[in-house]
């Protein structure tokens, strides 16, 4: 292999460190080859460095080699260069030559560097942009694109029912006046003014109190007939109904009530037709079916809870004619009178009671079945009361469930008669104590309701077939159904008494002329008007904010200085008219306030 004119580059290291003072001197070097063929060496004249970088050109037979290098210094043999083992600096010499070239041509080299950098930046920008575009356009082959699916309404069954039924659910607030015991303190009737001040100042809390309650109801007729619970409106003197999403209050009348089933029917006078709830057949409800409870628990209007039918035909929880649907949907105070609704959007019950150790719901609620509700409702709107049939017998369901007793009496099932009312249809038909009634109207009697309900629903005066066992022998007889209230008079005393429609006079205000002495004692010497001596509970005056001790100064911006002037202005008002009262009132801080009270005149005064 020929090495002619081929250059090799080697690094020669000084064998001894050069003193600092001699590093800037120039020396002459001669490099030759030990080989017989030899190498042509270059001679350098340079500042003495610690490392000398030399280039050697080989001949035709001998290639440049690190082994053929010898370095001699002519001026000072003490400093001798020796080859650095294994280090070939071909690239280093080229870089050094380039640096020397740059130093000699600084301006041209600078322009060349700037031009090179500019071209590099432009090329880099183009290449990177194309790479990004290529990457975004190419994507990942084989990957499927994701699509946003259509929304799925998982609970639209509930929301659809709520949307249809909720407008027919109402909030009911009632007020019951509770009279306090009259004071037995003797008064001197000779001074009427003093008697008034004794009542006003010495016994300010001796008047009646008002007890308020909240509940729910459901509209079943577009003309304003509402189903609710009897216990909600019992003894109420004022019943207010608020429709769903409507702040207007309607004064309700009681059409009829049934204490035995705890049901009542109210009537309001709406401005137009009202939305109604559809009644369903409670016999179609099964244990495990989803149900919704509507109402206003704790006064929270438009509340809906969900659950299932936990049990059916629950008895011995209330009165004789109450057999409930049990549910675990939350029923709380305020839900009373609201509807229990199935998944068809039909009312299958009226929320009536809860079983709890405290005041709140604990998972056991009860609703009166809609079939019973419909029967009672039809009688209430027809006659205002419920008439139930009876044949005049008494029994104990607990005793009738004793299988040993039934066996001894010769029956496998039935209800054991314990007493027969004198003169009753049962006595006239020959039924006696100890008989076991096994069938009514051809249907088996296994529990008390199987005996009572068919007879109660039979019109008064009609016959019903009774099959019974006496002395282990079966007998059958036709019995004329009588009126339960007449056969059992003690139940009549517990029947619901309807409140009398005796509205308070003059909006529930008892007024007195404001004499100078009254004004001085009340601290309103500079005022003229009519003194409010008492505000009746649950009255229009209480509803708009009147307080005992107020002084009415104006009625509809007309000054009233005495009672006759007040009455003259009041007589001008008609039901539905708006009325504005200007009132002087003492604050708790002792200052005299001017208060404005307003409202619409109620339909019944």
Residue 527 has pLDDT above 50, yes or no: yes
pLDDT in tens, 249-267: 888 999 999 988 899 999 9
**Region of poorest pLDDT, from 34-48, 192-206, 283-297, 335-349:** 34-48
Please tell me which residue, 533 or 604, carries the higher pLDDT value. 533
Residue 457 has pLDDT above 80, yes or no: yes
Please tell me which residue, 245 or 169, carries the higher pLDDT value. 169
Q: Which residues pair with 555 in a beta bridge?
A: 558, 581
Could you tell me if residue 140 is inside a domain? no
Could you tell me if residue 364 is inside a domain? yes
For strands 530-535 and 551-555, give the pairing.
antiparallel
**Region of poorest pLDDT, from 97-106, 111-120, 182-191:** 182-191
Please tell me which residue, 138 or 357, carries the higher pLDDT value. 357
Please tell me which residue, 2 or 279, carries the higher pLDDT value. 279
pLDDT in tens, 414-426: 999 988 989 999 9
Residues 296 and 424 in one domain: no
pLDDT in tens, 152-196: 665 567 888 888 999 999 999 887 665 555 444 454 445 555 555
Under the banding of pLDDT at 50, 70 and 90, the label for residue 508 is: confident
Residue 246 contacts residue 366 (beta carbons within 8 Å): no
Tokens read off for 423: 């003169």
Residues 378 and 410 in one domain: no
Residues 426 and 411 in one domain: yes
Which of 385, 388, 307 minimizes the C-alpha distance to 351? Answer: 307
Question: What pLDDT, on a 0 to 100 scale, did the predictor assign at position 237?
Answer: 79
Question: What pLDDT, on a 0 to 100 scale, did the predictor assign at position 174?
Answer: 85
Question: What pLDDT, on a 0 to 100 scale, did the predictor assign at position 180?
Answer: 52
Could you tell me if residue 513 is inside a domain? yes
- In angstroms, rounded to a whole number, what is the distance separating the alpha carbons of residues 595 and 585? 7
Domain count, the chain: 4
Residues 370 and 469 in one domain: no
Question: What pLDDT, on a 0 to 100 scale, did the predictor assign at position 357?
Answer: 63
Under the banding of pLDDT at 50, 70 and 90, the label for residue 549 is: confident
* Mean of the per-residue pLDDT values of the chain: 76
Residues 307 and 233 in one domain: yes
Residue 580 has pLDDT above 80, yes or no: yes
Could you tell me if residue 203 is inside a domain? yes
Residues 317 and 332 in one domain: yes
Average pLDDT (589-605) is: 78
Average pLDDT (108-136) is: 76
Residues 318 and 453 in one domain: no
Residue 44 contacts residue 10 (beta carbons within 8 Å): no
- Residue 14: C-alpha distances to residues 11, 19, 56, 510 (Å): 10, 12, 18, 129
Q: Is 145 helix (H, G, I), strand (E, B) or coil?
A: coil
Question: What pLDDT, on a 0 to 100 scale, did the predictor assign at position 40?
Answer: 47
Distance from the Cα of residue 181 to its chain's centroid: 44
Q: 508-535: b or e for each residue (b if 16 or more CB lie within 10 Å)? A: bbbbeebeeebbeebebeebbbbbbbbb
Question: What pLDDT, on a 0 to 100 scale, did the predictor assign at position 466?
Answer: 94
Residues 588 and 456 in one domain: no
Question: What pLDDT, on a 0 to 100 scale, did the predictor assign at position 64?
Answer: 45
Question: Hey, which residues are catalytic here?
Answer: 231, 262, 336
Question: What pLDDT, on a 0 to 100 scale, did the predictor assign at position 130?
Answer: 63
Which of 48, 46, 68, 47 minimizes the C-alpha distance to 57? Answer: 68
Q: Is 372 helix (H, G, I), strand (E, B) or coil?
A: helix
Please tell me which residue, 181 or 544, carries the higher pLDDT value. 544
- Looking at 355, 383, 411, the residue that finishes a domain is 383
Could you tell me if residue 112 is inside a domain? no
Question: What pLDDT, on a 0 to 100 scale, did the predictor assign at position 20?
Answer: 53
Residues 286 and 396 in one domain: no
Residue 241 contacts residue 268 (beta carbons within 8 Å): yes
pLDDT in tens, 368-411: 999 989 989 999 998 888 888 899 998 887 778 888 888 888 99
Residue 337 contacts residue 351 (beta carbons within 8 Å): yes
Question: What's the domain range around 555?
Answer: 505-600
Tokens read off for 433: 């104590």
Which of 65, 75, 67, 84 minimizes the C-alpha distance to 15? Answer: 84
Residues 371 and 395 in one domain: no
Question: What pLDDT, on a 0 to 100 scale, did the predictor assign at position 91?
Answer: 52
Q: 557-575: b or e for each residue (b if 16 or more CB lie within 10 Å)? A: eeebeebeebeebbeebee
Question: What pLDDT, on a 0 to 100 scale, did the predictor assign at position 82?
Answer: 46
Q: Is 232 helix (H, G, I), strand (E, B) or coil?
A: helix
Could you tell me if residue 139 is inside a domain? no
- Looking at 451, 484, 517, the residue that finishes a domain is 484
Could you tell me if residue 432 is inside a domain? yes
User: What is the residue whose two structure tokens read 């229009």?
Assistant: 540
Please enumerate in sequence order all residues whose Cβ is within 8 A of that of 329, keeping only pairs 6 or more positions apart, or say none: 291, 292, 293, 305, 306, 307, 308, 340, 365
**Region of poorest pLDDT, from 122-131, 485-494, 542-551:** 485-494
CATH number of 573's domain: 2.30.42.10
Residue 496 has pLDDT above 60, yes or no: no
Question: What pLDDT, on a 0 to 100 scale, did the predictor assign at position 323?
Answer: 81
pLDDT in tens, 269-313: 888 899 999 999 999 999 999 999 998 888 788 889 999 999 988
Could you tell me if residue 2 is inside a domain? no
């Amino acid at each position: 292999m020929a090495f002619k004119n081929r250059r090799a580059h080697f690094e020669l290291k000084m064998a001894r460190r050069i003193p600092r003072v001699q590093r800037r001197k120039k020396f002459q070097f001669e490099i030759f080859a030990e080989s017989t063929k030899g190498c042509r060496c270059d001679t350098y004249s340079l500042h003495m460095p610690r490392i000398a970088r030399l280039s050697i050109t080989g001949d035709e037979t001998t290639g440049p080699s690190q082994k053929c290098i010898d370095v001699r210094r002519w001026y000072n043999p003490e400093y001798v260069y020796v080859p650095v083992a294994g280090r070939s600096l071909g690239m280093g010499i080229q870089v050094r030559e380039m640096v020397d070239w740059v130093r000699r041509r600084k301006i041209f080299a600078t322009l060349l560097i700037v031009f090179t950098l500019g071209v590099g930046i432009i090329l880099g920008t183009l290449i990177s942009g194309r790479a990004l575009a290529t990457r975004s356009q190419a994507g990942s082959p084989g990957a499927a694109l994701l699509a946003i699916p259509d929304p799925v309404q998982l609970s639209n069954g509930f929301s659809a029912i709520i949307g249809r039924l909720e407008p027919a659910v109402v909030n009911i607030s009632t007020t019951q006046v509770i009279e306090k015991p009259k004071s037995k303190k003797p008064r001197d009737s000779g001074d009427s003014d003093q008697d008034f001040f004794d009542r006003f100042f010495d016994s300010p809390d001796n008047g009646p109190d008002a007890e308020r309650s909240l509940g729910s109801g459901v509209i079943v007729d577009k003309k304003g007939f509402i189903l609710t619970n009897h216990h909600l409106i019992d003894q109420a003197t004022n019943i207010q109904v608020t429709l769903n999403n409507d702040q207007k209050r309607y004064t309700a009348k009681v059409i009829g009530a049934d204490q035995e089933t705890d049901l009542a029917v109210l009537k309001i006078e709406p401005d137009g037709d009202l939305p109604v709830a559809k009644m369903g057949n409670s016999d179609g409800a099964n244990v495990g079916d989803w149900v919704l409870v509507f109402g206003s628990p704790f006064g929270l209007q438009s509340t809906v809870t969900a659950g299932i039918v936990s049990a059916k035909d629950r008895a011995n929880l209330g009165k004789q004619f109450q057999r409930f649907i049990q549910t675990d949907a939350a029923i709380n105070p305020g839900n009373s009178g609201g509807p229990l609704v199935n998944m068809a959007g039909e009312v299958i019950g009226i929320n009536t009671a809860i079983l709890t150790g405290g005041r709140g719901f604990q998972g056991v609620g009860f609703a009166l079945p809609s079939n019973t509700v419909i029967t009672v409702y039809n009688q209430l709107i027809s006659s205002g009361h419920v008439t139930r049939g009876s044949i005049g017998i008494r029994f104990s369901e607990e005793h009738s469930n004793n299988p040993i007793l039934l066996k001894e009496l010769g029956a496998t099932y039935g209800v054991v008669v314990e007493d027969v009312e004198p003169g009753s249809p049962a006595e006239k038909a020959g039924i006696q104590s100890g008989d076991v009634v096994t069938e009514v109207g051809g249907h088996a009697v296994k529990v008390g309701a199987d005996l009572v309900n068919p007879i109660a629903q039979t019109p008064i005066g009609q016959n019903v077939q009774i099959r019974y066992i006496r002395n282990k022998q079966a007998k059958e007889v036709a019995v004329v159904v009588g009126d339960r209230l007449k056969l059992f008079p003690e139940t009549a005393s517990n029947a619901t008494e309807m409140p009398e429609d005796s509205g308070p006079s003059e909006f529930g205000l008892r007024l007195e002329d404001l004499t100078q002495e009254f004004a001085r004692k009340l601290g309103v010497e500079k005022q003229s008007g009519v003194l409010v001596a008492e505000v009746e509970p649950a009255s229009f005056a209480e509803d708009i904010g009147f307080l005992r001790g107020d002084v009415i100064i104006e009625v509809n911006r007309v000054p009233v200085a005495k009672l006759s002037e007040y009455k003259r202005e009041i007589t001008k008002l008609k039901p539905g008219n708006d009325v504005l009262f200007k009132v002087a009132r003492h604050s708790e801080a002792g200052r005299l306030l001017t208060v404005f009270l307003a409202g619409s005149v109620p339909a019944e005064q």
